[in-house]
Each structure stands twice: as C-alpha cells, then as structure tokens.
Amino acid sequence: MDILENLPLLLEYCPVGSLHLHLSSLRFSYVYSHINDDGNIIDFDEHRMHQQWIEACQTKGRAPGIRLEMMRKMTSTWLLIRYAQMVARGMEHKSLRYIMHRDLTARNVLVAEYNVLKIFNFGLAKHVAACYVMSSTQIILPVRWMPPEAILSRIFSEKSVVWSFGILLWDISLLASNPFD
C-alpha cells in the first residue's frame, strides 16, 4: 500500500465554524468599542462596557438583563482587531513558505476554541516564488475578493493576496455584511 495514495488528513475540530458565520452571528449583537474619540485603542474597562450595554439596551427598549447575557451578546473591537492580526500572521506564515492562498475569505477561516482563527481551504493555493498565471478558465474564482487586475489578466501575486486580506478586513469590520454589491 502506497502511503501517498491513502494519505490521511487530520483536522482540528472548530466548533464555532467559519469566521463568516461567526461574524454574521455577531452582527445583531452589541459591540464594545475599545476606540476613543481620537481613534486610539484604549484598555478594556468593564465598567465602560457595562455602561455601553445599558445604553444599547435602552436604545432598543430592552431591560439590560444579567451580566452573563451581556458577555454573550457583546463583542469588542479588540477581538475584531485580534482576528485581523491572526489572519495576517497566518498569511505571513504561508508567504514565507511561498504558498499563495488565492481564496482568502471569511468563509475560509475557521474559528477554533478560545476564538483562535485557522486559515483553511487551500484548494486554489499554489506553491510559487513570484507571480502565477492561471491558465485554466474552468476554475470558479472568488471574484469579490480579487483585485481587478487578477480578474482581467488571471495573474496572481502577493499583491493579490494583500487585496483579498483588505476585503477580509472589511468583512471583519462590518461583521460579514456585504461590503459591496
């Protein structure tokens, strides 16, 4: 038996699912902002978070409820920034090994325990040292996450991945709302 014919693939179980589904579930929750009026990131302040929770509930005509409900229904800008950082570090890891993902989207990032992100679905990935020209026109490409020049010329480079990462950042900041139609 040739081991390469029956190569097992072992994946970590990610109970939360894709980043897209996770962000979508947060869309109707409340966001605790770690950004001050000057646009600077500030430290976590539980009292400030609780105040934001009370204000959000009053705006929606709801009773604030218990602290556990607040923690379950609130996300924070700090966590969203952390998500962006984890994806950036994962893509840097791939880039150092000359792996071009070519399908970097929120649906291709899994959320594991403790909100740790895992990049997956390397079906379109290529091992390349520079640019890559896609010759097949039969492969369905993630057009919404591709830069215009890659759509028109089918040439992919690290710049294409950076563009996709920018769209992914947009997805994260908008909690998986459609960035554009």
- Catalytic residue numbers read 103
Contact 57, 134 (CB under 8 A): no
- Closest C-alpha to 172, from 76, 78, 84: 84
Q: Which residues have a Cβ under 8 Å from the Cβ of 12 and sit 6 or more positions away?
A: 112, 118
How far is the C-alpha of 19 from the C-alpha of 22, rounded, in Å? 5
Length of the chain: 181
Distance CA 79, CA 58 (A): 24
145 contacts 166 by C-beta, under 8 angstroms:
no
